[in-house]
Amino acid sequence: MLKGNIYYMRLRKKKNLDERIKACWDILVVYEQFGFYDLPEDKRCNLIDYKKVFGNNNPVHLEVGCGKGGFIAEMALLHPEINFLAVEKISNVLICAMENCKKLGIKNVKFLNCDASNLGYYINEDSISKLYLNFSCPWPKKKYANQRLTNARFLKIYQKLLTTDGEILQKTDSPLMFEYSVEQLSQFGFGLFDVSCDLHNSKIENEVLTEYEKYFSGIGKPIYHIGARLNK
């Protein structure tokens, strides 16, 4: 069901969460809750109108798995000339990110509460110039490899969403996730650049540190980085 610019399913009955989410309607463009998979395939699609949502035609960057939103908020403040979409499927984590952006008065970030596997229902093809994957769950057990956000099933989605020469920028503390991502991205035809096993001791530009990045770096763990460019 459509409600304004929001794809609305059903609010999760959790103390205070409903009211807090309603207070963020103006920056929440997708709210995918129970009932999504009950819809017919042709009823799931609700592409975001960037001009209507942001009020301009600026380039769009996407973070998949924004957590509490520290990274996306700081990036948006640094780059008012860019529009940002932030995806987080856990509602009680997403609300922290949204409330933080509202508190800071940030106007160039909008949020999606949905599963990454459904991004194609909401985001226009050939519209994302940069896609950020920051400290995604590495799903260390092999049987769960298809849940990793650089698995082929997700790369197929990103490939459609990215513009010509669009980029994926990934940071992780997991050597397993790093090696897996290098292999998957290479096999999928992405050109790799700025690949590092120790980002903080490299010359790679790193404008904003995430919450996890600050923590892991603080305890001496190396940060792995991959840049991948799509050549359509």
pLDDT of 38 = 66
Percentage of the chain with pLDDT > 70? 90
Q: Tens digits of per-residue pLDDT, 198-219?
A: 999 999 999 999 999 999 999 9
Count of Cβ atoms closer than 10 Å to residue 229 Cβ = 15
Count of Cβ atoms closer than 10 Å to residue 83 Cβ = 22
Instruction: Using pLDDT thresholds of 50, 70 and 90, give the confidence band for residue 18.
Output: confident
Instruction: Using pLDDT thresholds of 50, 70 and 90, give the confidence band for residue 10.
Output: very low
pTM score > 0.85 for this model?
A: yes
Identify the helix (H) or strand (E) that includes residue 75: helix 70-78
Residue 36, pLDDT > 90, answer no
Residues sharing a CB contact under 8 Å with residue 53, sequence separation 6 or more, in sequence order: 5, 29, 110
Residues sharing a CB contact under 8 Å with residue 106, sequence separation 6 or more, in sequence order: 73, 76, 77
Q: How far apart are CA 214 and CA 25, in angstroms?
A: 30
* CATH code of the domain made up of 2-229: 3.40.50.150
**In the chain, where the domains are located:** 2-229
**Residue 204 · residue 225 · CB < 8 Å:** yes
